Amino acid sequence: MARLKVRYLASKRLADGTKAYYWNCRRALALGLQPSVALGTDLSLAMLKAEELNRTFDAVRRPTEVALDPGTLRWLMRKVETTEDYLERPSKTQKEITQAFNFLRGPYSKKCADDHKHRGFADFPINDITGEAVKKLHKTLAAEHSLDVAARTCKWLRWLFNQAKSMKALAGENPMDGMKIKKPPPRQIYWFEEEVTAAIAKAKEMGLPSIGVAIRLAFDTGQREGDVLRMTWTQYDEGEILVKQSKTDAVVRMPALPELVSALAETPRAGVQIVISEGTKRPYKQFHFVHRVAEVIEAAGLKGKTFGDLRRSAVVRLAQSGCTIPEIASITGHSYARCEQILQVYLPRTTPMARAAIQKVLAARVQGEK
C-alpha cells in the first residue's frame, strides 16, 4: 500500500486497476477509533477526509489542556507532541520520548530550578536554559533514578532544543551543542550459538516453542524485537526471509540459515504472524513476550542474557564470519556507525583474524596481477 503526503493516508490499486484511498492508523484502535477507513477513489476528497480523521485522532489522543506559558520548555514539549516529526515516529520511539518528557515535567525537577519563580525545570523559558542548568538536571536524574534515565532524558532534551531552533522559538544556539552527556557503559553481553541452541531446547521443553522460534529469528537475522514479532509467513518464501525494518523502512531479502529453515519447517502456521503465543493463539503483546522470554532464559541457566542482546550478537557473529560492515548493515539494518561501535566493544582481535586479513590482501594482489 503506497503512502501519501497526508499523514496516515494510503492508496491501493484494486483488481480493476482503480486506485482507492484509505486512512490507516493502527494506533487509533487503542483509542477506540476505527484504525482503517475507506475514503473512496477521489484523491482530493480523500485528502480532506484524511485530514479530518487526523484532527479527530489527535484530539482524542491528546485532549486539550490548560493554556501554557509560551516559550517555556513545558510549552515546547506540548508543541512538539503535535508535530509530524513526533507523530510519524515508531510507537517505541514515541514511548521513549514521552518517558523523557515526563521526567522533564516531574516534580523532582524543582531541585533544578534556580529560584522560586519557576516551579520546575519544565517551566523555564527555553531561552533562559543554560548548559549549566542541563548539567544540574543530569546530575539530579542520575542521583534520583539512574545514569541511563539521565542520559536518555538529556538525549531528547537536546532534540527538543533542535526542534525549537527549527521553529525559530530558540533565539540563540542549542545550549547543549558540544556538550558531552555521561552515559552508562555498554552491555558487555552477547549470545553464543550453543546458548541459543540451549534456550530453544528449553523453550520446547516448557511448551513454548514460539519463544524458541523468536530467538532463532532474532539471532539469525539480527532484527529488532518488534520486527521479529511482526514478521509474517508471507515474508518467508523458498528459504528466504523478506524483512522490512520498522525504523528505516529498508526492505531486505536474505537467505535463511539451515537452522532457521528447520525451525520454521517445524513451526505450525497458526496465524498471519510467525510467532504466535501458545496460550492466547494470537501474536504476543510485548509485555507478555518479554516475561515469557525471561522465564525461558532463566530456566536454561542463561541469567543475565536478554532478547535484545540477540541483535547485537548477530552483528558479532557476522563479523567473526568475515563479513564487512556494509554487509552486516545490509542484514541487520544498523547504521555503519552503529555496527562499528558494536564491533569496537565486542569483537575480539585475534591471531586467526589477523592472518585472514593478510590472506585477503595477498589474494587481492594475485587477482590484480592476472
The string of pLDDT tens digits covering residues 305-364 is 999 889 888 888 888 787 787 877 777 777 777 777 777 665 655 566 566 667 777 777
**Which pLDDT band, with edges at 50, 70 and 90, does 71 fall under?**
confident
Q: How high does pLDDT run on average in the chain?
A: 82
**Which pLDDT band, with edges at 50, 70 and 90, does 108 fall under?**
very low
Residue 117 has pLDDT above 50, yes or no: no
State the pLDDT at residue 245.
Answer: 60
CA nearest neighbour of 257 among 209, 311, 230, 221 = 221
Residue 10 has pLDDT above 80, yes or no: yes
Q: In what order do the strands lie in the sheet with 240-244?
A: 236-237, 240-244, 251-255
Q: Is the CB of residue 113 less than 8 Å from the CB of residue 119?
A: yes
State the pLDDT at residue 353.
Answer: 58
The string of pLDDT tens digits covering residues 190-235 is 888 999 999 999 999 999 999 999 999 999 988 888 889 999 999 8
Q: Is the CB of residue 260 less than 8 Å from the CB of residue 268?
A: no
**Which pLDDT band, with edges at 50, 70 and 90, does 67 fall under?**
low
> 321 phi and psi, to 5 degrees?
-85, 0
Alpha-carbon span 196 to 212, nearest angstrom? 9
Half-sphere exposure of 298 (CA within 13 A, CB side): 6
The string of pLDDT tens digits covering residues 280-319 is 999 998 889 999 999 999 999 998 899 988 988 888 888 8
Q: What's the rounded mean pLDDT across residues 144-156?
A: 89
Residue 98 has pLDDT above 70, yes or no: yes
Domains in the chain, ordered, with CATH? Answer: 2-61 (no CATH), 73-166 (no CATH), 193-354 (1.10.443.10)
Q: Cβ neighbours of residue 276 under 8 Å, at least 6 residues apart?
A: 210, 270, 282, 283, 284
Comparison of pLDDT for 213 and 128, the residue scoring more: 213
